[in-house]
Structure 1
Amino acid sequence: MIDRQRCVTSRLSIALSLRSVSKARSLLLSLAALAFAQRNCRSALAADDFLLEQERPSIKADRSQEDWSLLADPKLRNEPLDSLKYIPLFPSNPDSYISLGLNLREIFEVSDAPAFGTVPANPRDSYWLQRAQFHVDVHLNENWQLFTQFEDVRAFNKTVVGPNDANRFDLRLAFIGYTHETDAGTFRARVGRQDFAFDLERFMSLRDGPNVRQSFDAVWAGWETDAWRFYGLVSQPVGYRDDDPFDDRSSSDVLFSGARIERQLSPTIEACAYYTLYQRKAADFLTASGEEGRHILDIRSAGKHAGFDWDVEAMGQVGKVGSADILAWALGARTGYTFQNVSWSPRIGPQQTRLRNCAASLPQISILPSIAISRGLPCLRAIACLLMPIPRTGPEELVMLPRGAWCRRRPPGQ
């Protein structure tokens, strides 16, 4: 009887031991499975973070070009105020939404002896420049866009306030855009007040340097394929006033129109060219005045190959101001080489801009960041910068125009 009890006890102990081993093995297997799941979870989260970082839209200089439709996926709304960047209009259509945005720029400037001290009436000055902009971007399906931007631009404590310094509450941009994609290509069109900027903005820019940008009341259309792009535009530059809210107007006295073609030669090399016609009924320069007609031809090549990068551009202008002929040209180049197999991948290249004889009385100056040479009489270096001519009033003085262009005023009758 005792032996049987010992045998039963032994069998029970063996069974308990086997059960203990089974429980321990199950626990280890469970811990291993949990660790593997956590590893996979971390990998998935890392992949999601990488996806969010790669696909999240970015803020652009031209806010109308931003596309926030990716925020239709709730996973991508991980930043503050994302609820304002994507406001769905229809739950069943993620391509229809409203996006809100705000720009605020604050600049404090101090000038001592401006215009090289040649203007006694313009002493040392210190002032605060403020630019506040608010926009509403409405997208309807994948085809239509209604973009509106308001701005309030002020110059505090500035002795001489010009049209480039201040523009109290006004309509800056307002246009309707249409996009239609087909197997052959994409058609795009815009009608209304809008911005234009080409390439590195050497000759056609947003005019972001001054406090007030330059916009155009325009009709713009283009056709795009994988390798080609064609654009055409007709516009009237907006004239800015700072007398009352909503007082900015464009005029048929100034017209700017043109056509542009782009070619993607390879994944890293592109070429483009454009022709524009600039017309103004009452132009006024140092050596000429009257009706202005200016033909502008520009060609450009840019790309990267074997560590080298380049952006080379050439521009020529012909036309008339009154009875005077216009003959001007400009060259621009920004080149460099990147050491790809060296830590931090350093890049070297000349970074200098040089302007020469852009008009008869212009001094020779050098500014950063690219090599450029221009020559002619008179030369329209940036369309957006020469839309407001220097009047022939007051004593002769040297004044600086936006983006580094210089001109000399002269007394009336000289």
Structure 2
Amino acid sequence: MKTIACFLMVFIGCVASAQQSPDFKSMRFDEDYSTVNDSTFGSKWYSRMKHLNLSENRRSYLSFGGDVRYQYFYVENENWGDSPEDHDGYILSRFLFHADLHLGKRVRFFVQTQSSLAEGRLDPSPVDQNPLELHQGFADFGLLENPTQKTALLLRIGRQELSYGSQRLVAVREGPNNRQSFDGAKAMLKVANFKADFFYTHYVRASDDIFDDESNDSRQFWGSYFRYDKIPYIGTTELYYLGLYRESVAFDSGITGNETRHSVGMRLANQIGGWRYDLEGVYQFGRFAMTDISAWTASVNTAFRFNSLKFKPEIGLKTEIISGDRDVTDDKTQTFNPLFPRGAYFGLAALVGPSNLIDVHPSISFNIAEGLDWTIDYDAFWRFSEQDGLYAPNASLIYPAGDSGEKEIGQQLATDFTWDANAFLSFRAEFTWFKAGKYLQSVTPGNDIIFTGLTMQLQF
């Protein structure tokens, strides 16, 4: 631990005086270092790490990078008192390292390893711990490129991350310790402001040993995603179809069977001055065991930032309605499946998942100083249907409906401070209090949850 800390301090000291800050992306393969030269980042060795030239025209090059994250969490009354009490807390660490090889403009190979460890965590899940794996390993082939007409067609084959829209349904799962990936192929077409993706993949299942993650034939994922930017008065419009096949699935009905689910959705997003909004609706259909699927969700996320005021306060309001099963004895399954969401859906505490849910979520945030933000948010949760239970972010059932006719799940009050110390290093401190509502009091001990978290993250 001390060796790593010393390495981080030396590294930060070497790059903090960079002439130009790198533009790190959530998905690291989206970064472009094609124009970097020896003096771009102030440090010659760091510039060469981001662009190690392999050809005279500088179109063939090798780039390296990584991400180191440490988190400490303490939870009081985990699972509302149903889990054994841990008085010491636990530490999550994640190491991501990648190499990006460009052979001209048409061929590219990207490899990324991931090591996610949980120290002091009682019975860690695959979301918390995955010792060492090939997280991504794919090849890109540029089939078409016409800069004049702003047209490009790219084919990606191999293990890769997927992320779309606001990450409600398809995400890299950055919040939890172990990010998720898929094995398959994706074709990406871009024409001016229009983008279209077509993909077919198998979910990569995390396992306990080293380099043993493999494609999961029992969970297949495919779809198409269309996006049009810079539409007058609207901003961005997204239309999509997502298909999912899963084996041995269980919902609150008590039935276990295979699921083939189709999701069609639309998203509108824009920012005009201090205003921003994000509207999305999804309908799902298909078959689960011997029942027909008919599920849906609608969400509104809007905010206004007062840029002329001190600390630039931003007031936001999110609300979602997410369907649940109204009658477990009929031939319909109405529980919404969030597919592969971002995990920490309602904060790092990640106590409730987006199925069978009504959520009202006001918030306020302040830019206290350069790089330092403070956010306070409040969540109120209810079950959409009293005949359906409470689900986790991964759509697994936490508690069944039971005999409780209560819909109130609870209320959550959270606050966090985020500090970007420089372009490479950031810190986050979060506190969450979840007050158990009448439904949770009827199916659990009903204790209130206290959750605290500290995060340090270095990207390079």
Which TM-score bucket, shorter chain as reference? 0.7 to 0.9
For 1:177, which of 140, 154, 158 is the aligned residue? 140
Look up the equivalent residue of 2:296 and give its one-letter code.
W
**How far off is 1:399 after superposition?**
8.2
How far apart in 2 are the matches of 1:262 and 1:280? 27
Amino acid aligned to 1:299 = M
Q: Write the deviation string for residues 15-45 of structure 1: whole angstroms up to 9, x where unpaired.
A: xxxxxxxxxxxxxxxxxxxxxxxxxxxxxxx
Q: Tell me how far apart the structure 1 counterparts of residues 101 and 33 of structure 2 sit (CA, whole Å).
A: 11
Q: Is the 8 A contact 1:256 1:279 kept in 2?
A: yes
**1:273: which partner in 2?**
239
Which residue in the other structure is 1:392 paired with?
none
Other-structure match for 2:42: 78
* Amino acid in the other structure paired with 1:188: L
Matched-pair contact (CA < 8 Å) for 1:309–1:337: yes
Q: Larger % of strand: which?
A: 2
Task: Specify which of 124, 132, 145 is matched with residue 108 of structure 2.
Answer: 145
8 A Cα contact 2:301 2:319, kept in partner: no
Aligned partner of 1:218 among 184, 187, 193 = 184
Matched, 1:407 2:372: no
Aligned equivalents of 2:275, 2:102: Cα separation in 1 = 40
Work out which of the residue numbers 383, 389, 408 in structure 1 matches 2:340.
383
Instruction: Tell me which residue corresponds to 1:305.
Output: 272
Residue 194 of structure 1 aligns with an amino acid whose one-letter code is Q
Distance 1:225 1:57, change over 3 A: farther
The separation in 1 between residues aligned to 2:153 and 2:276, in whole angstroms, is 31
SS at match of 1:379: coil
Q: Select which of 56, 59, 64 maps to 2:24.
A: 59
Match of 1:284 in 2: 250
1:205 aligns with 2:196: no
Give the deviation of 1:67 after TM superposition. 0.8
What is the one-letter code of the residue matched to 1:383?
F
**TM-score computed with the length of structure 1 as normaliser:** 0.72
Could you list the per-position Cα deviations for residues 259-317 of structure 1 after superposition, in whole angstroms to 9, with x for gaps in the alignment? 11112243781111100110113222221321101010110111133543211111111
Secondary structure of the 2:210 match is: coil
Q: Among residues 153, 156, 160, which one is paired with 1:194 in the alignment? A: 160
The alignment partner of 1:81 has SS state of: helix
Q: Does the 8 Å CA contact 1:205/1:382 hold for their aligned counterparts? A: no
Indicate the residue corresponding to 1:368 in structure 2: none
Say if 2:196 and 2:227, in contact at 8 Å, map to a contact too: yes
d(CA) in 2 for partners of 1:189, 1:176: 8
Secondary structure of the structure 2 residue equivalent to 1:70:
coil
SS of 1:279's partner is strand
Is residue 296 of structure 2 the alignment partner of residue 320 of structure 1? no
Rounded to whole Å, the distance in 2 between the matches of 1:334 and 1:222 is 28
Q: Is the deviation greater in 318-327 or in 136-145? A: 318-327
Are 2:197 and 1:231 aligned? Answer: yes
Identity value in percent: 24
- Say yes or no: does 1:117 pair with 2:81: yes
Return the alpha-carbon distance in structure 1 between the equivalents of residues 336 and 398 of structure 2.
Answer: 11
Contact 2:162 2:170 survives alignment (8 Å): yes
SS at match of 2:316: coil
2: CA distance, partners of 1:408 / 1:240: 24
Aligned to 1:373: none
For 2:136 and 2:176, how far apart are their aligned partners in 1? 17
Structure 1 residue 327: Cα displacement: 1.8
1:269/1:410 Cα in 2 relative to 1: closer, same or farther (>3 Å)? closer
What RMSD, in angstroms, separates the aligned Cα atoms of the two structures? 2.9
Aligned residue type for 1:314: G
1:249 is aligned, of 214, 221, 225, to 214
Answer yes or no: is 1:134 the counterpart of 2:91.
no
Instruction: Tell me if the contact between 1:131 and 1:154 (Cα under 8 Å) persists in the aligned partners.
Output: yes
- Unaligned 5+ runs, structure 1: 1-51, 362-375, 387-397
The whole-number CA distance in structure 2 between the counterparts of 1:345 and 1:112 is: 33
Asked whether the equivalents of residues 338 and 345 of structure 1 are also in contact (C-alpha less than 8 Å), the reply is: no
How many Å separate the matches in 2 of 1:130 and 1:355? 34
Question: Could you tell me whether the CA contact under 8 Å between 1:299 and 1:315 is conserved in 2?
Answer: yes
What residue is the counterpart of 2:58 in the other structure? 94
User: Structure 2 length as normaliser, TM-score?
Assistant: 0.65
Higher helix share: 1
Q: Does the Cα contact within 8 Å between 1:385 and 1:403 map onto a contact in 2?
A: no
Task: Output one character per residue of 1:33-66: Cα deviation in whole Å (capped at 9) or x when no partner.
Answer: xxxxxxxxxxxxxxxxxxx64xx54111111111
| Largest Rg, 1 or 2 | 1
